[in-house]
Amino acid sequence: MQVLQVQMEVGPDPAEVGRARRWARARLAGSGIRDDEPLAETLVLLISELVTNAVVHTGCPAVLRMLFASGGGVRVEVADASDRPPRPRRAEGDDTNGRGLELVDGLADRWGWQREGAGKSIWCEVDRVPLVPVVPVSVEGVTPPGRVRC
């Protein structure tokens, strides 16, 4: 399996999150994932959450990596210099934060973290499932949807 990896450095400034999203959209388009595909929106949201967590909770620079597998899956990694493991929180009611890792857990097919050098890397993976057109099949004695038996 071939893998293409691209990466960018992210400064410890919340404005970097928007830059990371724009960078990611351009890289997704370059890999053949159209901007209007649900996969692109999901990946951009995941990247936004992981980069935000790195910038807000560590105050350190980070590295955003995207790995594109030949089978269509995409892995996103955000590495930072903090050795503190990610700590999922549960937001209550009108809380304005505390939902990031919950979102990652709900949107990604897999996610986790690992030590990387003196810091850590938080990663998530999304499988690209090709859209297969659904073709109604007529079976003798069964009426296909939308048809009326006479």
> Which of the pair, 2 or 11, is modelled with greater confidence?
11
Look up tokens 């996103």; give the residue.
76
- Model confidence pLDDT, tens digit, residues 51-104: 999 998 888 899 999 999 887 889 999 999 998 888 877 767 776 666 788 889
Per-domain boundaries in the chain: 3-126
Q: In what order do the strands lie in the sheet with 74-80?
A: 3-10, 62-69, 74-80, 119-126, 110-116
Whole-number Å distance between alpha carbons of 150 and 148:
6
62, 54 contact by CB (below 8 A): yes
Q: Phi/psi of residue 11, each to 5°? A: -75, 165
Please state which CATH number belongs to domain 3-126: 3.30.565.10
- pTM beyond 0.75, yes or no: yes
